[in-house]
């Protein structure tokens, strides 16, 4: 006889409701080597489905709609929405202005407080450099295999480069991405690049992992990274990593290449290097 389903509860909630006493937690098999029969006894379907949802979001280069998500994992639309709503509540998922979903900053875990502090400390400096240069300034952090903009001081000029807080860009074609990647082990960087297709966004976009690694060597030697029309045709950006932080983060200034000259990039880089040192956990204020 089927078990009676309590009102307001999914079948998932009942997976092991009556089985807890029959499970020997001390004799549980290794999840990596468990047989299908063993997995059926210990696996929790609700958690499995949440993990599937998060994996889909992780692998997507762009935020996904609710319809795209529920179709990708074969989950009822209403159930998928409840899962997403709960994940959003705990900051593991974020919704952009168009209602599309991406991974949130909850995965920073214990570092979330560090991020809040970094944003608070960086904001005055971003505004100061924005006002001095007339260009948009950004604070970005590593988010999976991409860069997430967490603070943006947008230029007041009519023609400007700008990203929205919470938006993401690839590592391989942005100055922020290069600055952060230059501080990571080469093996890790290559793993991140393997997860994405290095699609050319402009004629200057680097589409080879080996060429990208060469660029990172240059970044380490001079202390800053440059996106010279690699993400957008008339875009130019300079970025500097914030070292000695538990967060892979960087600062950048971006503007139209027609106005933001390479000479200006070099000068701005010196300012960013000084600010990045101040923003280090042990840096001077």
Which of 166, 175, 149, 154 lies closest to 237, judged by CA? 175
Q: What is the pLDDT of residue 166?
A: 85
Number of residues that this document lists for the chain:
285
DSSP state of 35: -
Q: What is the pLDDT of residue 8?
A: 45
188: burial class by Cβ within 10 Å (0-12, 13-18, 19+)?
A: exposed
Q: What is the pLDDT of residue 114?
A: 77
How many Cβ atoms sit within 10 Å of the Cβ of residue 4? 7
Q: What is the pLDDT of residue 6?
A: 46
Which strands form 249-256's sheet, in the order they lie side by side?
168-170, 146-153, 136-143, 249-256, 235-242, 225-228
Q: What is the pLDDT of residue 194?
A: 92
The Cα–Cα gap between 189 and 54 comes to 21
Entry pTM: 0.64
b/e string for 200-238 if b means 16 or more Cβ within 10 A?
ebeeebbeeeeebbebbeebeeeebbbbebbbbeebbbb
Q: What is the pLDDT of residue 226?
A: 98
Q: Write out the chain's pLDDT in tens, 285 residues.
A: 444 444 444 544 444 444 555 677 778 888 878 788 888 888 888 898 999 999 888 778 678 999 999 999 999 999 999 999 999 888 788 887 788 898 776 665 545 677 888 999 999 999 999 999 999 999 999 988 899 999 999 999 999 998 888 889 999 999 999 999 999 989 889 989 998 999 999 999 999 999 999 999 999 999 999 999 999 999 999 999 998 666 899 999 999 999 999 999 999 999 999 999 999 876 555
pLDDT digits (tens, 9 = 90+) for 108-166: 554 567 788 899 999 999 999 999 999 999 999 998 889 999 999 999 999 999 888 88
- Please provide the average confidence, as pLDDT, over all residues in the chain: 86
How many Cβ atoms sit within 10 Å of the Cβ of residue 164? 10
**What are the chain's domains?**
11-108 (1.10.10.10), 109-279 (3.30.450.40)
Q: What is the pLDDT of residue 117?
A: 86
């Amino acid at each position: 006889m089927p078990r009676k389903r309590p009102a307001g509860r999914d079948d998932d909630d009942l997976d092991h409701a009556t089985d807890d006493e029959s499970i020997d937690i001390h004799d549980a098999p290794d999840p990596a080597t468990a047989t299908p029969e063993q997995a059926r006894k210990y696996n929790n379907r609700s958690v499995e489905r949440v993990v599937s949802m998060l994996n889909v979001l992780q692998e997507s280069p762009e935020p996904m709609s609710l319809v795209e998500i529920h179709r990708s994992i074969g989950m009822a639309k209403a159930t998928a929405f409840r899962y997403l709503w709960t994940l959003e509540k705990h900051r593991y998922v974020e919704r952009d202005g168009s209602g599309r979903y991406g991974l949130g900053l909850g995965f920073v875990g214990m570092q979330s407080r560090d991020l809040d502090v970094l944003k608070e400390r960086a904001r005055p400096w971003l505004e100061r450099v924005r006002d001095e240069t007339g260009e948009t300034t950004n604070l970005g952090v590593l988010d999976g295999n991409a860069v997430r903009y967490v603070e943006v001081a947008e230029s007041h000029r009519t023609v400007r480069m700008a990203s929205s807080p919470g938006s993401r860009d690839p590592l391989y074609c942005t100055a922020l991405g290069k600055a952060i990647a230059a501080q990571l082990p080469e093996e890790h960087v290559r793993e991140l690049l393997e997860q994405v297709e290095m699609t050319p966004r402009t004629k200057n976009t680097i589409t080879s992992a080996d060429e990208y690694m060469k660029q990172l060597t240059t970044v380490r030697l001079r202390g800053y990274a440059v996106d010279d029309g690699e993400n957008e045709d008339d875009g130019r950006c300079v970025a500097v990593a914030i070292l000695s932080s538990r967060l892979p983060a960087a600062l950048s200034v971006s503007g139209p290449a027609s106005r933001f000259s390479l000479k200006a990039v070099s000068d701005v880089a010196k300012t960013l290097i000084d600010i990045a040192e101040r923003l280090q956990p042990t840096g001077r204020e």
